[in-house]
Amino acid sequence: MKALHWLLAAALGLLGALGVLWLDPQQPGTLRSFAWEPPAPLAPGFAVPQLPVALQGGVPAGTAAYLAVLDRPLFAADRRPPPPPPPPGAKPAEPPPDPLANLTLFGVYTGADFSGIVARFNDKVRRVRVSEAVGEWTVEAVQGRQVTFKRGEESRTVYLAHQYGPRPAPAAGAPATTPVAASAGVPVDRAAIQAQEMEAARERLRQRNELFRKAGLPPVKE
């Protein structure tokens, strides 16, 4: 029974505490007013965002303002910092020499799978195939003895010309060959002329293969 008495006393104490909470301390004897009242409005406390410098004057920024971003994208894997400015008094870098300025064309070759040329570019003999680059130029096409180089929208054509060198001295005991000339009333020896042309072609081929040998390239067959 004592436990029941303690529980009743605790319940009465809680009821008395709740009754006190319902009373208004500023006005004794009256109940609190629990009607909802809207709170007073508060002014926003955030700052006004600033416009970019290019847009503050009312003029839209041109494409020049975004060239740096286009040249160096933010999330590109090969992004690099801008190059440092040249030191004061430094001379501007000279452009690379034009490989076609001192071009010497030795020969051309064509095949079913590839074509190309053999030439000297800036004192260096190279074998270059079609579509390969030589500096800023690219071998565009080889047609007969005509070679076309292209750089952007610019194109340049080079022709292979035969160069006649000094004739070799005849071997000991071999009859000296003399050019055949036509005279009035004398028939032309076409066989002798053809033999001389074949001998000149063989001599040109020998000189060309000699140049290829010095450049470390395989000889060209007839």
Beta strands across the sheet bearing 104-110: 104-110, 115-121, 124-129
Return the residue matching tokens 């194109």: 155
Rg (alpha carbons) of the chain, rounded to whole number: 49
pLDDT at 189: 54
Q: Which band of pLDDT confidence, cut at 50, 70 and 90, is reported for residue 169?
A: low
**pTM for this prediction:** 0.37
Output the six-digit token pair for 76. 């590109």
How far apart, in whole angstroms, are the C-alpha atoms of residue 222 and residue 168?
A: 19
Confidence of residue 139 (pLDDT cuts 50, 70, 90): very high
Mean pLDDT of 200-219: 79
Q: Is the pLDDT of residue 219 over 80?
A: no
Backbone phi, psi, residue 126, to 5° = -140, 155
In DSSP terms, which residues pair with 119 in a beta bridge?
Answer: 105, 126
Residue 62 has pLDDT above 70, yes or no: no
